[in-house]
Chain A
């Protein structure tokens, strides 16, 4: 059994009189320790997939499982616990708490979960040992995203989800972040899923899921993913 499984997952939004099928029969699997890139054009349903996978939204139908636990049937309370303990989320716009320092932002997450990693270690891991007492506003975008990644990692999650992690960053910084995520996967052995519209990212993935019109259009396995530093876009 795969680490993550999407089986006939549908998600329908009611927009006034119109039913929008954001996800319409999605099927894919992810193995533990893989770096997965979910890629597709805008409106293809990749964010919905991310939401459902991250426990932020529930599926209208179908089954989602992570590490053998079915997420799709969870109630709100269970989902909260799920997010809390199993998911590390990296946002496009970092979503750091402005009033907390880098270290505190990491601690904010680690404090609430069961088996957190030491915050300053994680922060050192992402290369921000020297900036840990800085407020987000005092950090650059890349640094902020590193903090965000550190925050996600500190929870010691089963799955790290990243939503367009480089979207708000310049090219170089974006590459560094991408590298960090890849490293997380490779050296930390974590399962990392990156949602992006950038096809260039597919080069570094172990598995690429192409999403189109609410379905997993194509799933590729990349036997020799490229190093993030060499990726160009």
Chain B
């Protein structure tokens, strides 16, 4: 070992800390750079190994018309195509356990799968070269029966595993056209390199727009003759190249281009195939049709002629019948005539007879009356006689007459006598009346003269007395005269009275003689009157008897003549009757004859009539039969015509369809169109971006560490350096010692760092990504990319050497003489702070020294500030990333998205169905804030092309209600964004991706069944950009939506909030899923868990960052302290000699370091904020926006943790300070 080598070894041994510091920082810098740089390539090579191992397709060809077997061989024949595998794929909504998800169903070549064997982690060997996209069977077995399937193993969906069922509900196209079965038993769990990303297996128009599961079914589960939906192919030689590399892209691109060049030819051929096949079928069908049509027409013609014959027959019959009817009618009329005549005659005779009869009866009646009168007369006569006889008591009429005549005479005599007596009685009565009047007058006159008497007798007496008296007294004559007159009158009256009394007594006596006893003249008159009357009646009686006799005699004569007349009449009537009877019987005979004849004629007519009727009914039924036949014929003809027309139209339509079959669009896709592979590739490149930035800091720090360290080393060796120079060593030779020293440290550090971190970092990163990708981990040792390793190592060592060279050369510039002298101490300088007198004066000396020192050594200041700020920045990135990730959940769910339940109905649902769902939700009582929206899966882009990304377009039914579900707010200004009918609010990630601001135009594209963009996109003017973290949304007002789709939306998605616990929620979900029309029920909790899982990747990165930050801080601070102490040993020793206590010494040194650390810390927070933003933006995927604010607590953590690192290093370095010997202060400044 040369002396030179020895010096180097000794210098290393003598300053191991310094050596290790350089080694460490170079190791960290190179290792980080190399490790991070290799993450991407390692990920890609792992993927490539998987892709090659499973013969993943390089090229996928799809056609709008599908493919047939001919197309498969046509594509196989294209130059550069190695192997091909056709496949049938259909996207469906499937019920898997408790969930209803979008799933991709593909056909599987079961035989090939069974024949293949898994070999290692990422290789499947098969003898069938055309078995592509080979599948790992993780569990169970391959499907054998048509209703068996194998299901994705990489992601649990609805807890479905081997032995469970998957039910296909409906598809993006008509499932029945593709699948024979609707329910599949899961017999195995598989993993396919075609679906490397477990977060999403691809996009679709169904459900949430994301394929949540894939499954493979045997060919037998598919409908016969179903066209292949795609052809997978490999490009020859591509498997030797790394997937995604330029060489690979070129190799595949060449073949793709060739395929695309042949696209027209392929399309034409496919069109010809499809048309030919269809045309053949159609032609056959047309022939069949024509034959059938002719048959039908002939049949119809036959029927028609038959019908016509029948018609003619019917017409004849009708005519005959008409004639018969006419004849019959004639006969009937004639019969009626004869009948009328006969009856007229007969009736006339009968009338005559009847007249005679009635006359006879009349006369008979008269006769009978006459007889009765006669008999009455006879009887009256007899009675009269017997009465008379009885009256008279005579025995005969003669005798009676004599008696009666004697009675008359007697009566006449009595009457005469009586009448005279009666006259006498009458006179008496008159006398009496005159008498009584005169008496009364007298009495009255007397009473007036004062003489009151009751009778004339009395009055007479009194008058006599009075006269006498007067006379006696001698009264004057005048007085006595009146009295005398009155007395005279009274005397007269008394005399009249006596006369009258005498007459009366005479009368009464006479009467008494006659037997009439009367009391007075009055009674006598009465009695006399009655007797007179009696006598007169006796006379009339007798007279009557006489008259009666006369009458009797007259009636007896009359009776006799009547009797004679009667007898004559009776005789005449009897004769009349006799005549009548004979006439009647004659007439009756005639009538019977006539009736017999008429009846015969009638019978004949009736017969004819019956015949006619039956003929008529025959005709009617015949006609009816004919009519129904005719109707049948017409109907049949019409039907036949319609059917034929329909058939013809169908044939024509089919023909038109065939003619219209357009040349298919053939799309040649490669792996970059596989969402999983693309995402994986993008993630790996994201790591590349981060790898480009992070290590830069480490290199910078490494350079500064090397520079300061080597500068210090050279300074330490100042005199040695001068000696060498004086001894004649060249600059290069002298520098070589330090270059070798630094180079050695750098090389060892770089080698160790690269070896260790190029394993550790890719392992951490890939195993993080293994959470969401099926790409298996590389087995250890991971490949080390020599180029990256060399570049990184070279850079690390180069930087160290450069720093060393700079340090050495700057020292060697001095002459040997000056070098031999102790280096003039760097002059103390006043610093800016001193100009602020009040502050400066208050500082203690150690503070003053600290302040001045800090600015004395610029390199160290830079190294420390940069190193520490790097440490803080890394910590801040770590904590910031953590914040960013948690903010996704914390900011999205609650502050922005208020609903936690999404119920989507399928496309066919109508408003009523939705209402039912809404009321079902309401009825649970656990659900609030229910609103309805229309959700559409679309893609968004901008006019100048570029990538398009999946967006969820949401159109609320009621714009004012949307705030119940979502809050629109500007993230930075926190100002709410208004939402109305015309609003177009996009979420922030969209605005960032396309640089869109309010007023800019965004294009919304429709997509087809397999998620390809259709059409030119609908332009919408953005009215607001809302804060949002998960997913990309475009919220449209109804008016804005109408611009895109004129049809009124059903608003078939329901947002709601539930307060219920998991169990109740599961119940609600189950009830909803049981409805046929509900396609998805999503609870945000599930989504949140999904994202947490997805994003847990980044948490590991946080740990890595914290560890490396610690390492960085340690190296930098250790180095700084080391240099500081080493450089100021004399100062420290002097201070100790001056009597500074330990603590005072620590403070004197560490205060400076702490101050630098704090400055670095503050810079680091600023730098870290920038770096965090960079990392966040780089690490973000299209689907998610990370939180953009670092929480204050993270700043605090980063700041404090850096200080803690410093404290830790100071604690360690205290020992070094303690070890500084005071004796050092006595040494010379060499």
| Residue pair A112, B826 in contact (C-beta under 8 Å) | no
Residues from chain A with a CB closer than 8 A to the CB of B1141 are 77, 80, 84
Max count, chain B CB within 10 A of own CB: residue among A77, A98, A109: A98
Asked if B950 is an interface residue, CB under 8 A from chain A, the answer is no
Q: Which of B1131, B1138, B1223, B1228 contacts A51 (CB 8 A)?
A: B1223
Min CB distance, B1155 to chain A, in Å?
14
| Residue pair B828, A135 in contact (C-beta under 8 Å) | yes
Asked if A201 is an interface residue, CB under 8 A from chain B, the answer is no
- Chain A residues 85 to 128 lying within 8 A of chain B, measured CB to CB, are 85, 87, 89, 91-93, 95, 97-101, 104, 107-109, 111-113
Asked if B1130 is an interface residue, CB under 8 A from chain A, the answer is yes
Bitwise interface map of A from 46 to 64 toward B, beta carbon under 8 Å scored 1, else 0? 0100110010110000000
Provide a sorted-by-A list of 13 A–B residue pairs whose CB atoms are within 8 angstroms: A50-B1226, A51-B1222, A54-B1137, A91-B1134, A100-B828, A100-B848, A100-B852, A108-B1138, A113-B1139, A135-B828, A135-B829, A136-B825, A138-B827
- Chain A residues 34 to 88 lying within 8 A of chain B, measured CB to CB, are 47, 50-51, 54, 56-57, 77, 80-85, 87
| Residue pair A98, B827 in contact (C-beta under 8 Å) | yes
| Residue pair A83, B824 in contact (C-beta under 8 Å) | no
Residues from chain B with a CB closer than 8 A to the CB of A168 are 1228
| Residue pair A83, B828 in contact (C-beta under 8 Å) | no
Asked if A163 is an interface residue, CB under 8 A from chain B, the answer is yes
| Residue pair A93, B1228 in contact (C-beta under 8 Å) | yes
Q: Which of A47, A57, A99 contacts B848 (CB 8 A)?
A: A99
Bitwise interface map of B from 1126 to 1142 toward A, beta carbon under 8 Å scored 1, else 0? 00001101101111111
Asked if A231 is an interface residue, CB under 8 A from chain B, the answer is no
- Please, how many residues of chain B have a CB less than 8 angstroms from a CB on the other chain? 31
Asked if A137 is an interface residue, CB under 8 A from chain B, the answer is yes
| Residue pair A137, B1138 in contact (C-beta under 8 Å) | no
Nearest opposing residue in chain B for A89, CB measure:
B1137
Nearest opposing residue in chain A for B855, CB measure:
A99
Residues from chain A with a CB closer than 8 A to the CB of B849 are 97, 99-100
| Residue pair A135, B1139 in contact (C-beta under 8 Å) | no
| Residue pair A112, B825 in contact (C-beta under 8 Å) | no
Residues from chain B with a CB closer than 8 A to the CB of A108 are 845, 1138
Min CB distance, A168 to chain B, in Å?
8
| Residue pair A99, B828 in contact (C-beta under 8 Å) | yes
Please, how many angstroms separate the alpha-carbon atoms of A92 and B1137 in the complex?
Answer: 13
| Residue pair B827, A104 in contact (C-beta under 8 Å) | no
- Chain B residues 1137 to 1165 lying within 8 A of chain A, measured CB to CB, are 1137-1142, 1144
Max count, chain A CB within 10 A of own CB: residue among B828, B1130, B1142, B1223: B828
Asked if B538 is an interface residue, CB under 8 A from chain A, the answer is no
What would 5 more interface pairs be, CB under 8 Å, given A80-B1136, A84-B1141, A99-B828?
A83-B1137, A99-B852, A109-B1138, A137-B825, A163-B1226
Q: Which of A57, A89, A112, A137 contacts B1144 (CB 8 A)?
A: A112
Min CB distance, A161 to chain B, in Å?
9
| Residue pair A92, B1139 in contact (C-beta under 8 Å) | no
| Residue pair A57, B1223 in contact (C-beta under 8 Å) | yes
Asked if B856 is an interface residue, CB under 8 A from chain A, the answer is yes
Q: Which of B825, B845, B1137, B1139 contacts A104 (CB 8 A)?
A: B845
Please, how many angstroms separate the alpha-carbon atoms of A84 and B1135 in the complex?
Answer: 10
| Residue pair B1139, A98 in contact (C-beta under 8 Å) | no
| Residue pair A98, B1138 in contact (C-beta under 8 Å) | no
- Please, how many residues of chain A have a CB less than 8 angstroms from a CB on the other chain? 39
| 10 closest Cβ pairs, A-B complex | A84-B1139, A135-B828, A137-B827, A83-B1139, A95-B1134, A99-B852, A56-B1222, A99-B828, A108-B845, A98-B825
Bitwise interface map of A from 114 to 153 toward B, beta carbon under 8 Å scored 1, else 0? 0000000000000000000001111000000000000100
Please, how many angstroms separate the alpha-carbon atoms of A178 and B1144 in the complex?
Answer: 32
Residues from chain B with a CB closer than 8 A to the CB of A51 are 1222-1223, 1226
Asked if B514 is an interface residue, CB under 8 A from chain A, the answer is no
Main secondary structure of the interface of B (DSSP, over half): helix
Please, how many angstroms separate the alpha-carbon atoms of A108 and B856 in the complex?
Answer: 19
Asked if B768 is an interface residue, CB under 8 A from chain A, the answer is no
Residues from chain A with a CB closer than 8 A to the CB of B602 are none
| Residue pair B827, A91 in contact (C-beta under 8 Å) | no
Min CB distance, A26 to chain B, in Å?
18
| Residue pair B1139, A97 in contact (C-beta under 8 Å) | no
Q: Which of A99, A112, A163 contacts B1139 (CB 8 A)?
A: A112
- Chain B residues 847 to 888 lying within 8 A of chain A, measured CB to CB, are 848-849, 852-853, 856
Residues from chain B with a CB closer than 8 A to the CB of A77 are 1141
- Chain B residues 1095 to 1141 lying within 8 A of chain A, measured CB to CB, are 1130-1131, 1133-1134, 1136-1141
Please, how many angstroms separate the alpha-carbon atoms of A193 and B1141 in the complex?
Answer: 24
Asked if B844 is an interface residue, CB under 8 A from chain A, the answer is yes
Min CB distance, B842 to chain A, in Å?
13
Interface residues of A (CB under 8 A from B): 47, 50-51, 54, 56-57, 77, 80-85, 87, 89, 91-93, 95, 97-101, 104, 107-109, 111-113, 135-138, 151, 155, 163, 168
| Residue pair A111, B1137 in contact (C-beta under 8 Å) | no
Min CB distance, B1156 to chain A, in Å?
15
Please, how many angstroms separate the alpha-carbon atoms of A47 and B1224 in the complex?
Answer: 12
Nearest opposing residue in chain B for A87, CB measure:
B1139
| Residue pair A97, B1131 in contact (C-beta under 8 Å) | yes
Residues from chain A with a CB closer than 8 A to the CB of B1130 are 93, 95
Max count, chain B CB within 10 A of own CB: residue among A87, A99, A136, A168: A99
Please, how many angstroms separate the alpha-carbon atoms of A151 and B1136 in the complex?
Answer: 14
Residues from chain A with a CB closer than 8 A to the CB of B623 are none
Min CB distance, B932 to chain A, in Å?
76
Min CB distance, A116 to chain B, in Å?
12
Residues from chain A with a CB closer than 8 A to the CB of B475 are none
Min CB distance, A207 to chain B, in Å?
22
Min CB distance, B410 to chain A, in Å?
217
Asked if B811 is an interface residue, CB under 8 A from chain A, the answer is no
Nearest opposing residue in chain B for A135, CB measure:
B828
Q: Which of B826, B856, B1225 contacts A91 (CB 8 A)?
A: B1225
Residues from chain B with a CB closer than 8 A to the CB of A136 are 825, 828
Residues from chain A with a CB closer than 8 A to the CB of B1139 are 80-85, 87, 112-113, 155
| Residue pair A89, B828 in contact (C-beta under 8 Å) | no
| Residue pair B1138, A93 in contact (C-beta under 8 Å) | no
Q: Which of A47, A98, A151, A155 contacts B1226 (CB 8 A)?
A: A47
Please, how many angstroms separate the alpha-carbon atoms of A87 and B848 in the complex?
Answer: 25
Residues from chain B with a CB closer than 8 A to the CB of A93 are 1130, 1228-1229
Nearest opposing residue in chain A for B852, CB measure:
A99
| Residue pair A99, B1137 in contact (C-beta under 8 Å) | no
Please, how many angstroms separate the alpha-carbon atoms of A222 and B1140 in the complex?
Answer: 36
| Residue pair B828, A112 in contact (C-beta under 8 Å) | no
| Residue pair B826, A111 in contact (C-beta under 8 Å) | no
Please, how many angstroms separate the alpha-carbon atoms of A91 and B1224 in the complex?
Answer: 11
Min CB distance, B1132 to chain A, in Å?
10
Please, how many angstroms separate the alpha-carbon atoms of A152 and B904 in the complex?
Answer: 90
Nearest opposing residue in chain A for B1230, CB measure:
A93
Bitwise interface map of B from 1202 to 1230 toward A, beta carbon under 8 Å scored 1, else 0? 00000000000000000000110110110
Bitwise interface map of B from 149 to 192 toward A, beta carbon under 8 Å scored 1, else 0? 00000000000000000000000000000000000000000000
Min CB distance, B695 to chain A, in Å?
36
Min CB distance, B405 to chain A, in Å?
218
Max count, chain A CB within 10 A of own CB: residue among B825, B826, B829, B1139: B1139
| Residue pair A83, B1138 in contact (C-beta under 8 Å) | yes
Please, how many angstroms separate the alpha-carbon atoms of A56 and B1226 in the complex?
Answer: 11
Min CB distance, A94 to chain B, in Å?
9
| Residue pair B856, A99 in contact (C-beta under 8 Å) | yes
Residues from chain A with a CB closer than 8 A to the CB of B856 are 99
Nearest opposing residue in chain B for A96, CB measure:
B1134
Nearest opposing residue in chain A for B829, CB measure:
A135
Nearest opposing residue in chain B for A138, CB measure:
B827
Q: Which of B826, B848, B1223, B1228 contacts A98 (CB 8 A)?
A: B826
Residues from chain A with a CB closer than 8 A to the CB of B825 are 98, 136-137
Nearest opposing residue in chain A for B1145, CB measure:
A80
Please, how many angstroms separate the alpha-carbon atoms of A104 and B1144 in the complex?
Answer: 17
Min CB distance, B1125 to chain A, in Å?
15
